[in-house]
Amino acid sequence: MNYKNFFNEIGISDEQTLKRLEEIKQEYFFGEDKVYFDAGEDMGYIMDTGNYDARTEGMSYGMMICVQLDMKEQFDRIWKWSKTYMYMTEGWAEGYFAWSCQTNGTPNANGPAPDGEEYYAMALFFASARWGDGEGIFNYSEEARKILSAMVHKGSEKREGAPMFNRDNKQILFVPGCPFTDPSYHLPHFYDIFAERAYEEDREFFKEAAKASREYLVKACHPVTGFSAEYAEFDGRPLQKPMPWMDMRHDWFYSDAYRTVANLSLDHIWGGEDLGQFAACEKIQKALINDLRANDFGIYEIDGTRTGDEYAGDKALHPVGLMATVAETAAVTGITDLSKEWLTTFYNTPLRKGERRYYDNCLYFFAFLALSGNYRKY
């Protein structure tokens, strides 16, 4: 497969790109503003620096970044920390990972967040292909298959708990068994690969899930702005009824939703079938270009109206992450005057510093990998 370096289109050479990628790696994993930390002799974790915890989101992201950059030591450290402290071995959540732990390993939660399981499984399959399977928890491909099996089959006659997919419509759920989804959890480009590498009994399910997710994203992305909500109904509408445990809105284009933008781009790069979902990318570039130029990203209804509330305020909590994911859509739209402006701004923007750097810099890292031709299938 041919992976393109889109930075060439704005005058950045391959040598410059690789040098910048190395700088990003050093800052993310080893620098003063790092988010990765060694733990003991053979473990490590990614810290959410805004909440001072380790989350399956960040841990699995870290593993994906490591396998893309051939960082086996750090990959194995993060995976062992995840299996040691986050993996649940009994009860309704057996086979899943606690979505948040303190950095000493004490669980903050007794349930999972499905995006973590998705990224764990994909990173493990890539590790198997790139480095080969080892023994025990380092039998990467078997560990991935077990995660996917739990995601599909829990709640059946044989397994206690609830699945992470709605088995009728094949959509990923926000949490196991709940009646709604999170558009940013829809990863059809992952499901294509799961359909080839999961247990044989699960492969047809993931083939159907890939199609269902692409169809879903067409409906979830607004026809004018391309924006999707953080949480949404199965028909694509923003979540209609707030859940009692939510202390703020999640029916708007806000932090989680930025990942949907990135997912559209990576699906395109990896050769995903276009069912109409990729049209959102050009719309998103246009909808946010004036805010990019003003360096003033806000919070938006999915129709583009700026909004806010008493909890979130009226400014994007993760403006660098938002900018990075929209720049990534250049991989879908191709090189236009508009996409060049996004690419140039992104390339010239440094990683975020300060306590909120974790989420922004994860999205930044993924965007840079994708746009430089280094976010690859193995």
Residues annotated as catalytic (active site), given as ranges: 57, 256
Distance of CA 9 to CAs 14, 271, 342, Å? 11, 21, 12
CA–CA gap between residue 342 and residue 285 (Å, rounded):
8
Q: How many residues does the chain have?
A: 378
Q: Which of 81, 100, 1, 5 is nearest to 36 (CA)?
A: 81
Q: Are strands 299-300 and 100-101 parallel, antiparallel or unpaired?
A: unpaired
CA–CA gap between residue 369 and residue 251 (Å, rounded):
29
Contact 364, 324 (CB under 8 A): yes
Q: Can you read off the two tokens belonging to residue 247?
A: 């202390």
CA–CA gap between residue 131 and residue 363 (Å, rounded):
25
Distance of CA 31 to CAs 17, 26, 87, 314, 335, Å? 19, 6, 29, 31, 33
Please classify residue 132 by burial: count the beta carbons closer than 10 Å to its beta carbon, then call 0-12 exposed, 13-18 middle and 19+ buried: exposed
Q: Can you read off the two tokens belonging to residue 336?
A: 């236009």
Task: Show the DSSP H helices in 231-299 as ranges.
Answer: 258-269, 280-294
CA–CA gap between residue 353 and residue 356 (Å, rounded):
7
Residue written as token pair 């990765």 = 36
Q: Which of 178, 216, 135, 189 is nearest to 332 (CA)?
A: 189
CA–CA gap between residue 198 and residue 207 (Å, rounded):
11
